[in-house]
Every structure is written in C-alpha cells, then in structure tokens.
C-alpha cells in the first residue's frame, strides 16, 4: 500500500433491498408476493452496521422505500449509527421502463418514507440496477426537483440493464434537459486495454480475486480517484433462497457469497472510506431535518 493510496477517501455504499428484489427474475417479479417470501434484509443490515461500527467507518445506505415501509425501524437505526441515508427508489423498477411522471411519483414516495422514519434529509439516489442509460437524462431533472443533490447510478461499462459513457471520476452532470447540473459519483471501473472492468461491487466484488480488487484500488487511488464500493445485504447471505433463473444469472447471483464478508473486512482494514456525500464534498451537516 503506497502513501498515495492512504490519503484517498473512497466511497462505501450499500443498496438496502431484499434478495427477491433482483431484477428480471420472473419467479419474484410480482410485488404482491414479496410479503410472503422469507426475508434476509434486516438480519444482514444489522451485520453490516455491526461490522462498520467495529471498523469505525461511515457509509451511505441507499434504502429501498418498500423495505423502509415494511421494516419501519430500519432507516432510523441506520441514521442513528451515523450513516448517510439515500434512496434506491420505492419499487425497484428500472428507470428506463418508467415515464418521467412514474419515476417522480416512485422517487418521492421513497424519499418521504425514508425522511419521515429517519428524521434525516435524503441527498442521494442510486437507480435500481444502474438503469439510467442514454435517453433517460430527464431523471436528473426529477432528482433536482425533489431536492436531491447527487446521483450515483452511472455505470461507465457495458451492462445488461444500463451503462452510460461518462467521465470515470466524480463530476458535475450537465446533460439533463434543463441543463441544471447535479453531482455524479459514477461506479468505478479499471482500464484493462480497451475494457472498462467494474471491480468494486456486487457480483464483480464477489467473483474477482482479492488481488484484482486491490489492483483496482491501487490504480484509481494513485490517480487521485476514489473507488465506489457498492454491496447488498444478499451479497453476504449464502443461505438466501434460490429461485429459478437462467444459468448465467445463477452464477453471477450466487457465486462468492461466502467470501464477501472477508473481502469487505479486508477493504475496511486497508483503505479509507466515508459516505458518498462527503466524498463528493456535499455538506452532511445539513442532513438533519429537525
Ligand atoms: Zn437494487
């Protein structure tokens, strides 16, 4: 680890949703069935909070509105531990499948429930499955209209559900229809020749060897860039229920679950982390509503 690496503060984030919020899996696509399914989100959010307390690290939790409403103590608990609360939408629908009005209604519902329960202002958004892609720039105007200060949904690599070419660093996004700028914290990729390889979250972090993940941190941090880590409660849950899905999704969804706890602890030990808002330089002292 170089001294340069030591001085960079990386962004740590968790998308707080249940195992059955995976997109495009027919067996769990109907929200009416969700309340009948076994849940892992509370148990593993507790594990994450405990682990971050032990490491004395603060992170951003992008909570699904549906989860907040179903477990009304969860958003408050996260805030009481000193973490930042963001929104991951209400129903976990892909942004490009919605009209601007549907997106606005869904997003407002999620912000209202998270703020009401936690007493803290929501500043940031992460789209379900990083589903802001070219053509859905109107979403940034909706974020601004609803008082959000930043987005962390752009995924500058090839992807099944999104992908958006953009600078590989925190920047001001100017491409909304009104031209109103908003802070953007894109997902980290490392350059391997012509390939942009994600390495710091979800299935990528579960599947890649620790040495590759550390190489990604090194190459970005040496250029002065923060790495954005994103994980879900289900990334730590090897016993989470299995549902029918295509083989390639099964592999990406379930491989590496047993190693993720160790990888997170390794990262917390080696690198400096903070909330997305603070990495973007947004003043978190204004997040108290009361
Ligand atoms: Zn999600």
What is the residue whose two structure tokens read 């802001």?
Answer: 132
What pLDDT band is residue 249 in, cutting at 50, 70 and 90? low
Contact yes or no for 142/103 (Cβ under 8 A): yes
pLDDT value at 162 more than 90 = no
3 Cα: distance to centroid of ligand 1 (angstroms): 34
Question: Residue 253 has what pLDDT?
Answer: 60
Name the CA dihedral angle for 273, 277, 281, 284, rounded to a multiple of 10 degrees: -110
Contacts of residue 89, defined as CB under 8 A and 6 or more positions apart, other chains included, come to: 64, 65, 106, 107, 110, 125, 127, 128
Count how many residues are written for the chain: 290
What pLDDT band is residue 2 in, cutting at 50, 70 and 90? very low
22 Cα: distance to centroid of ligand 1 (angstroms): 7
Question: Residue 28 has what pLDDT?
Answer: 77
14 Cα: distance to centroid of ligand 1 (angstroms): 9
pTM greater than the 0.85 cutoff:
yes
215 Cα: distance to centroid of ligand 1 (angstroms): 26
pLDDT in tens, 29-83: 889 989 998 899 999 999 999 999 999 999 999 999 999 999 999 999 999 999 9
What is the residue whose two structure tokens read 């579960």?
Answer: 206
- Measure the CA–CA gap between 279 and 138, rounded to whole angstroms: 25
53 Cα: distance to centroid of ligand 1 (angstroms): 24
pLDDT value at 244 more than 80 = no
Q: What is the mean pLDDT of residues 177-194?
A: 95
What pLDDT band is residue 218 in, cutting at 50, 70 and 90? very high
160 Cα: distance to centroid of ligand 1 (angstroms): 14
100 Cα: distance to centroid of ligand 1 (angstroms): 19
Tell me the CB-side half-sphere exposure of residue 280, using CA atoms within 13 A.
Answer: 26
Contacts of residue 148, defined as CB under 8 A and 6 or more positions apart, other chains included, come to: 87, 111, 122, 123, 124, 125, 182
Going from the N-terminus, what domains does the chain have, and what CATH number goes with each? 3-287 (3.20.20.370)
Q: What is the mean pLDDT of residues 180-194?
A: 94
Contact yes or no for 280/150 (Cβ under 8 A): yes
Q: Where are the alpha helices (DSSP H) in the chain?
A: 3-7, 41-55, 65-70, 74-80, 100-118, 138-145, 202-207, 210-222, 247-254, 257-270, 276-279
66 Cα: distance to centroid of ligand 1 (angstroms): 12
Contacts of residue 136, defined as CB under 8 A and 6 or more positions apart, other chains included, come to: 95, 96
pLDDT value at 3 more than 60 = no
277 Cα: distance to centroid of ligand 1 (angstroms): 19
């Amino acid at each position: 680890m170089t001294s340069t690496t030591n001085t960079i503060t990386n962004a740590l984030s968790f998308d707080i949703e249940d195992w059955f919020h995976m997109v495009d899996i027919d067996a769990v696509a109907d929200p009416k069935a969700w309340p009948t399914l076994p849940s892992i989100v509370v148990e593993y959010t507790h594990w994450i909070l405990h682990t971050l307390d032990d490491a004395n690290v603060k992170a951003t939790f992008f909570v699904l509105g549906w989860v907040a409403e179903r477990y009304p103590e969860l958003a408050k608990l996260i805030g009481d531990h000193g973490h930042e609360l963001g929104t991951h939408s209400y129903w976990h629908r892909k942004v490009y499948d919605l009209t601007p009005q549907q997106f606005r209604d869904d997003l407002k519902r999620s912000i209202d429930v998270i703020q009401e329960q936690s007493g803290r202002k929501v500043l940031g958004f992460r789209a379900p499955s990083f589903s802001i892609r070219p053509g859905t720039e109107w979403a940034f105007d909706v974020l601004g209209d609803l008082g959000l200060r930043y987005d962390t949904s752009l995924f500058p690599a090839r992807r099944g559900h999104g992908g958006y070419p953009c600078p590989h660093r925190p920047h001001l996004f100017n491409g909304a229809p009104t031209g109103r700028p908003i802070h953007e914290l894109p997902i980290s990729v490392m350059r391997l020749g012509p390939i942009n390889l994600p390495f710091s979250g979800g299935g990528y972090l579960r599947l890649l060897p620790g040495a590759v993940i550390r190489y990604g941190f090194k190459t970005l941090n040496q250029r002065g860039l923060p790495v954005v880590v994103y994980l879900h409660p289900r990334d730590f849950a090897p016993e989470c229920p299995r549902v029918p899905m295509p083989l390639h999704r099964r592999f990406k969804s379930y491989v590496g679950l047993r190693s993720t706890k160790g990888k997170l602890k390794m990262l917390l030990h080696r690198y400096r982390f903070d909330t997305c808002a603070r990495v973007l330089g947004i003043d978190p002292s204004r997040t108290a509503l009361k």
